[in-house]
Amino acid sequence: MKRLSALFCSTLLCVLLSMSSLAQAQTLIGFARLPADTFAPGPTSGQLIAPANGVIPPFIDKQPVQGFSAVLRGPNGDFWAMPDNGFGAKDNSADYVLRVYRISPDLRTKTGGSATIALKSFIELRDPNHKIDFPIVADGAVYPGTAIPVDSDIRDRRLLTGGDFDIESIRQAHDGTLWFGEEFGPFLIHTDATGVVLDAPYRLNGVMSPQNPFLGTGTPTLPRSKGFEGMAITPNGKLLYPLLEGPLIADTDQRRLIINQFDLTTRQYTGAQWFYRLEASSGTGQSIGDMTAVTDRTFLVIERDSFEGDAAVFKKIYLVDLDEVDQDGFLVKKEVADLLHLKDPANVGGFGPTFRFPFTTIESVLPLSNTTLAVLNDNNYPFSAGRTPGQPDPDEFIVIRLDQPLSR
Q: Helix 11-18 to helix 2-9 angle, to the nearest 10 degrees? A: 50
Percentage of residues of the chain with pLDDT beyond 90: 91
Give the whole-angstrom CA distance, residue 315 versus residue 309.
Answer: 12
pLDDT of residue 280: 83
Q: Are 386 and 358 in contact (CB under 8 A)?
A: yes
Mean pLDDT, all residues of the chain:
93
- List the single range of 69-78, 151-160, 233-242, 273-282 with lowest mean pLDDT: 273-282
Q: 216-233, pLDDT tens digit by residue?
A: 989 999 999 999 999 999
Q: Averaged over 127-140, what is the pLDDT?
A: 98
DSSP H or E segment with residue 189 = strand 187-191
Closest among 62, 85, 71, 221 to 160, alpha carbons compared: 85
- At residue 18, does pLDDT exceed 70? no
DSSP H or E segment with residue 332 = strand 331-338
pLDDT of residue 408: 75
pLDDT of residue 111: 96
- Judged by DSSP in three states, 130 sits in coil
- Alpha helices of 40-183 — where are they, by DSSP H? 152-157
Domain locations along the chain? 2-401
Q: 287-305, pLDDT tens digit by residue?
A: 999 999 999 999 999 999 9
Closest among 373, 180, 406 to 299, alpha carbons compared: 406
Percentage of residues of the chain with pLDDT beyond 70: 93
- CATH topology classification for 2-401: Tachylectin-2; Chain A (2.115.10)
